[in-house]
Amino acid sequence: MLEYAIKGDKKYYGWIAVLLGLIGVGFGFYLWQLKFGLGITGLSRDVSWGFYIAQLTYMVGVAAGGVMVVMPYYLHDYKAFGRITILGEFLAIASLIVCMLSVVVDLGQPMRLFNVIIHFSPHSMLFYDMIVLNGYLFLNLVIGWNVLQAERNGTHYPKWVTPLIYLSIPFAISIHTVTAFLYCGLPGRHFWLTAILAPRFLASAFAAGPALLVLLSLIIRKVSNFDPGREQIQTLAKIITYALIANLFFFGCEIFVAFYSNIPGHMDHIKYLFVGMHGHGVLVPWMWTSMALMVLALILLIPPITRHNESVLAVACVMLFIGAWIDKGLGLISAGFVPNPLHEVNEYMPTFPEVMITIGVYAIGALVLTILYKVTIGVKEEVRA
């Protein structure tokens, strides 16, 4: 089926060229990082994880969000999603590739990467994260490819795929749960030390992932002869709405516990994010923007009249996607380190090379997604013809 990926018009090849260009630039900056060390990033002794690990956290969410189309179709027999489950599965694959590359570019000694396997330590959450991320990637590859091939041949997918599909559902939940466990099990980091971190991650995942899927569906409808479907998009919109409500609710719970209990350790990081601390507050405007975007998105998503309008829905999805990205991709990780364990404030902002490397990583994800979606659309168009 891969042949569909090399049959495209000028626009398609132009897009591929743009992505390859970005990958090239990102790789150039990565070579610099390999030579100098992570010192070319904004990371420091105090803020030891930053932009890269935040992208892992965010994109794990997008990957897990794919399960929101898989579950209704395979578990609840919601037939309409049959058209787009493959889009969710392939989105998960591309997102997972972004996740894993984000971890690799974050390593100080990437050539020792396989020490994680050679000297595996089951007490480390990173070990489990490696297992679930790779497992989920593998499952989606096998499932997606087989289901698509069956669709092309006009047959039912092989029976042995069914248990894998069921297995992929808990795996989707687990990738984001284990990723939350990386942070929320650490004794000295009060910002993350909350049992609601994993549920909050899942809620934002089930909002941001499907939001991206809605946007991708609208793009696919524009650039190809395959229409993911109005009903499908509207059902996704409802899922997004509920998930976003849950996400904001969980965040509210967090705020209540921190500020009603009045325990400084719990309030400090939230204060740093939203009002700044000791005169430091680079993230303050970002965080308020994030909150405003998510609340506005919710205001647009709740009334049926705006939600049913696909243009408005698209705007809401963009706002939600960006809002959740700021929240998780910028605020959540670095704020856990500010103030530091000795209550000193050393701020973090990603540097230009760091951003370029990240863009390169995202471009690789986009390239994988483009190819997989091109194949999917090719099959769908062929089957219809």
Partner 1 sequence: MEDSRRQFLKVAGTAAVGLSAAPAISAVAASGGHGAQPHVRKGADALTAKQWGLVIDTTKLDHEKIERIVEACHKTHNVPDISAEKVGEKTAVRHEIKWIWETHFHNAFTDQPSKYISEEVEERPFLVLCNHCEEPPCVQACPTEATFKRPDGIVIMDFHRCIGCRFCMAACPYGSRSFNLRDPRPFIKETNLAFPTRTKGVVEKCNFCAERLAVGKPPACVEASEGAIIFGDLEDPHSEIREVLREHHTIRRKASLGTGPAVYYII
Interaction site with partner 1 (CB under 8 A): 36-39, 41-46, 48-49, 103, 106-110, 112-113, 115-116, 118-121, 123-127, 130, 182-183, 186-189, 265, 336-337, 340-344, 346
Question: Which CB atom, from 89 or from 347, has the smaller least distance to partner 1?
Answer: 347
3-state secondary structure of 280: strand
CB of 188 to partner 1, least distance (A): 2
Cβ–Cβ < 8 Å for 84, 199 = no
Residue (16 or 361) nearer to partner 1, CB:
361
- Report, in Å, the least distance between residue 40 CB and partner 1: 9
Nearer to partner 1, 261 or 346 (CB): 346
State which residue, 52 or 206, has the beta carbon closest to partner 1.
Answer: 52
State in angstroms the smallest separation of the CB of 138 from partner 1.
20
| CB-nearer residue toward partner 1: 102 or 235 | 102
Residue (79 or 119) nearer to partner 1, CB:
119
C-alpha span between 365 and 372 (Å, rounded): 11
Residue 342 corresponds to which tokens in the numbers above? 């000795």
**Other CB atoms within 10 Å distance of the CB of residue 120:** 12
> What whole-number distance in Å separates Cα of residue 274 and Cα of residue 287?
6
* CB-nearer residue toward partner 1: 342 or 385: 342
Residue 53's Cα: distance from chain center in Å?
12
CA–CA separation, 178 and 174 (whole Å): 6
Nearest to 346 by CA among 288, 258, 265, 279: 279
Instruction: Provide the Cα torsion 297, 301, 305, 307; round to 10°.
Output: 100
Shortest gap between Cβ of 14 and partner 1 (angstroms)? 38
CB of 326 to partner 1, least distance (A): 21
Q: How far is the CB of 261 from partner 1 (least distance, A)?
A: 15
SS3 state of residue 66:
coil
C-alpha–C-alpha distance, residues 376 and 68, integer Å:
19
Min CB(334)–partner 1 separation in Å: 11
Q: Whole-angstrom Cα distance, residue 202 to residue 196?
A: 10
Q: For residues 41 and 140, which CB has a smaller minimum distance to partner 1 in the complex?
A: 41
CB nearer to partner 1: pick between 117 and 385: 117
Q: Which residues contact 290 (CB under 8 A, 6 or more apart)?
A: 322, 323, 324, 326, 327, 330, 331
| 3-state SS class at 82 | helix
Cβ-contact 58, 103 below 8 angstroms: no
Q: How far is the CB of 101 from partner 1 (least distance, A)?
A: 14
Q: Which residue has the tokens 């993350």?
A: 192
Closest distance between partner 1 and the C-beta of residue 361, in Å?
Answer: 17
Quote the Cα angle for 88-314-240, to 5°: 55
